[in-house]
Amino acid sequence: FEIIVSGKRCFLSEAYKCQEAWERRLKTPILQKIKLDDFFYEIDLKNQNEGKISAVDIDLFANAIQDESHLDELQDLTHKLRLSANTGKTLQSTHHSFIRIFLSLGRHDELLHILNDRINYGIFPDYYCSCLLMDTFIKNKNYTAAAKVGVLQMLQEDWEDPLTNHLALYSCHMYLTSPNVEPWETQPQEDEPDDGEEIKVRVKYLRNPYFDDHFDLSDPKLLVGKTLASLGAQFPDPVGRTYQLVGLSLYNKWDKALALLQRFILSKHKPVIYQAGVKKMEELIEESLKSEDTSNKETIEKFSQVLHELKSDSVTEEDLHEAILGRVRRVVGEEEQRIIEKQCQVYKHWEKEREEVLQAEVDQLQKQQKLAEVEKLKKELDTKEKILFFFENEEKWQLEIENKRVKYEKQKQPGKAEKKIDDKDYIPPEVRRSSN
Amino acid sequence: MPIKYIGRTTDFKGKTLWEILGNLKNFGVGRIVVRSMFERYPEPSYMKILKVEPVTHEDCRKVRVLIERVFRGRKYPKPVGLYSVSYKADYRLLHKDEEADYCSFDPGEEKPERILPRTALFPPLFRVS
C-alpha cells in the first residue's frame, strides 16, 4: 500500500528499521557494562603495547555507541583493525552497526567516503543496510548518494537480492533524470602546491600503470553506466533491456551496446525498449560524436542507425518512471515483511555469536595465563632441584663444563659480510681537518 | 610536490592480491583471479579463491590464500596455497559474466605420451670411433 507523505516518496515503512529490536541489543549485560572512553583507551593501549587488536572488541565498541562523541574513535579503531591480521575475524554485526550509527547521526558524506574506501576500512553493507541507506537517501531526495550505494553493489557484482536490485535501479534512474543533482565529489580536490622539488621514495618494485575497469573507475558517468548495464541484465523485460542499453552507452562500450541491440531485435520480444530510453541514448550519441573521440565513431554511427530503424511496435511510449515505480512498490509489498522478521532473528543470532566469541577469547587468555604460571613454577622447581642435589651431580656438572668449552673460534667466511644496520636517522659525522 | 618512485622495474600488469581481495565482500571467496603473466599461453590459466587469511599490514601487503589452480587448462588435484607471491602486482579479477567464457577449455585430442629410446649416441667429441 503506497504511503505518500507530503510529497515525499517513501518505499520502505518505518517498521523496516526494526528500531526496537536494534535497541534491545543495548540491554544485554555485556553492553551495559561498557564505558566507552575507558574501553577506547584500553583497546588503544593494548594495540600500542602488544600490536594486537581484537575483532570482538571493535564489535562491542561499535554496538555500544549511541551519540556523536565517539564516532572519530570508532573510525580510527576500524582502520587499525583493518591493518591487523584480525580483519578476517570481523563479525558481521560490526559492519551493520557502523553503518547504522553513522546513518542515524546524519553523517552521510563521511559514511559514503568510508564505504568507498574498502581497503582502509573494510565496511561492506549487507542487503538490509544497502536498502536502508538507499531508502533514507531517496526520502531526502539525495539521489547522488542513493546512486553511490547502487554503485557499491555493482562493484561487488552482487545482484542476488530483489529488493536491493529494484531500489538500485530506481536510484540510478532518479540520478539520471533529476534536473539538479548534487555533484558526485563532495570534497573539493586540493592540488598540492608545486615547489618544483621532487620527493624521491624508495620502493622495492615499481608498479606499471594499470587501469582495471572496475575498482579504479571514478567518473560518475562511467560508474552509473556500468551499474545500469549489469543491473539491467537482471530484469528480463523492456525496463531491463532499456537500461542495459542506456547503461552501456553511458559506459562508452558502444560495440557491446550494438551487439546487444541486434540480439534484442532478433529475439522478437515486443516491445523491445522504452521511448524515453531511445531519447536518452540519442542524446548520449550526439554528445560522444561531438567529443572528437574518433576511435568509436563508426560503431556509434551504426548503433544510431539501428536505433532509428527500430519499428514503432518495438518501442513503447509508456512512462519509464511509472513502470519502475510500480515495480519497486510491488517488490516492497512482497518482500518487506519477510525481511523485517528475518532481520529480528539475525539480531538475536548476532548477540549469541558475540557472547560466544567473547567467551572463547576470555578462555584463550585464561589458558595462556595458566600455562605461563605453570612454566614459572616449573622453572622455580628446577632451580631448587639443582641447588638441593648439587653434590650428588657434581661429576655430571664438571663433564658439562668441559663440553661447553669452545674448541675453535668461528672463522669468518670470505664473501659473507655481516649485515649493516640501516639507521634512517643516521647522519654521518662531519670530518674536518684537525688544526694541528 | 610530485613523488618520484625509485625501484626495480617489473613486467607485471595488474594489481596485488590484497588490493583485489580487500575490495571484495568476504574477501572474494569463490571468485576467480587471473595472473597476467600466465595469459601468454593459448590455454586458460586461472585461480579460484577458496579461503583467505589476512596478514598484518606492511608496505606491500601480502595475503595468505588457498586456491584451486588451473594452469594451461589442467587442474591441480589438490588446493594450493599462495602467500609469498601475493605481493606481485600481476593479478586481475574476472567478472562473473566473463568467468564461463574464459574458463571453458576443450582439451581436444590428448597428445600421446612421447616415449624416448633407451639409448642414444654420445656427442661427437666423446665418440670413441
Looking at residue B80, its amino acid is V
Q: Which one-letter DSSP state was computed for residue A70?
A: G
Q: Is the pLDDT of residue A2 over 60?
A: no
Digit-coded pLDDT (tens) for A12-47: 888 888 888 888 888 888 888 888 889 999 999 999
State how many domains chain B has: 1
Query: Chain A partners of B25 at a C-beta cutoff of 8 Å?
Result: 124, 156, 158
Quick one: closest CA in A to B2, which residue?
Answer: A198
CA gap A185, A144 in Å, rounded: 10
Cβ <8 Å between A210 and B89: yes
Given pLDDT bands bounded at 50, 70 and 90, which one contains residue A7? Answer: very low
B61 lies in a domain? yes
- What is the span of the domain harbouring residue B85? 17-103
Q: Residues B44-74, buried b or exposed e (16+ Cβ, 10 A)?
A: bbbbbbeebebbeeeebbbbbbebebbbebe
**Spatial contact of A116 and A152, defined as CB atoms under 8 Å apart:** yes
How many CA atoms lie within 13 Å of A123's alpha carbon, on the beta-carbon side?
A: 32
Does A212 contact chain B (CB < 8 Å)? Answer: yes
Peptide bond preceding A271: is omega within 30 degrees of 0, i.e. cis?
yes
Cβ <8 Å between B7 and A155: no
CA gap A118, A130 in Å, rounded: 15
B123 lies in a domain? no
For residue A193, what pLDDT is reported?
A: 67
Digit-coded pLDDT (tens) for A116-152: 999 999 999 999 999 999 999 999 989 999 999 999 9
**Spatial contact of A320 and A173, defined as CB atoms under 8 Å apart:** yes
Instruction: Compute the nearest-CA separation of B112 from chain A (Å).
Output: 40
Does B13 contact chain A (CB < 8 Å)? Answer: yes
For residue A25, what pLDDT is reported?
A: 85
Please provide the average confidence, as pLDDT, over all residues in chain B: 91
B71 forms bridges with which residues in the sheet? Answer: B74
CA gap B87, A85 in Å, rounded: 16
DSSP letters for A330-385: HHHHHHHHHHHHHHHHHHHHHHHHHHHHHHHHHHHHHHHHHHHHHHHHHHHHHHHH
B63 lies in a domain? yes
DSSP letters for B37-53: GGGGSSS--EEEEEEEE
Cβ <8 Å between A201 and B1: no
Mutate to test the interface with A, among B3, B18, B25, B51 (most CBs of A within 10 A): B25
- Considering only CB atoms, A214 lies closest to which of B3, B25, B93, namely B93
Kindly state the cell numbers that stand for A43: 583497546
CATH of the domain at B89: 2.30.30
- Considering only CB atoms, B4 lies closest to which of A119, A200, A210, namely A200
Does B69 contact chain A (CB < 8 Å)? Answer: no
Kindly state the cell numbers that stand for A26: 543495548
B32 lies in a domain? yes
B70 lies in a domain? yes
CA gap A277, B20 in Å, rounded: 34
For residue A292, what pLDDT is reported?
A: 67
Cβ <8 Å between A206 and B95: no
Look at B36 and A290; give whichever has higher pLDDT. Answer: B36
- Considering only CB atoms, A87 lies closest to which of B14, B20, B54, namely B54
Average pLDDT over residues A221-245: 90
B3 lies in a domain? no
Question: What's the angle, vertex CA A143, arms to CA A233 and CA A285, rounded to 5?
Answer: 55
Instruction: Compute the nearest-CA separation of B16 from chain A (Å).
Output: 10
Model ipTM value: 0.84
Digit-coded pLDDT (tens) for B47-65: 999 999 999 988 889 999 9
Q: What is the dihedral of CA A20, A22, A24, A27, to 10 degrees?
A: -140
B65 lies in a domain? yes
Q: What's this model's pTM, rounded to 2 decimal places?
A: 0.83
Quick one: closest CA in B to A87, which residue?
Answer: B54
Instruction: Compute the nearest-CA separation of B105 from chain A (Å).
Output: 24
CA gap B26, A88 in Å, rounded: 8
CA gap A79, A244 in Å, rounded: 37
Kindly state the cell numbers that stand for A238: 523492456
Please provide the average confidence, as pLDDT, over all residues in chain A: 86
Digit-coded pLDDT (tens) for A154-184: 999 989 999 999 999 999 999 988 887 888 8
B74 lies in a domain? yes
- Considering only CB atoms, A199 lies closest to which of B3, B11, B15, namely B3
Digit-coded pLDDT (tens) for A392-427: 889 999 998 888 887 777 777 776 666 666 777 777
Kindly state the cell numbers that stand for A120: 582502509
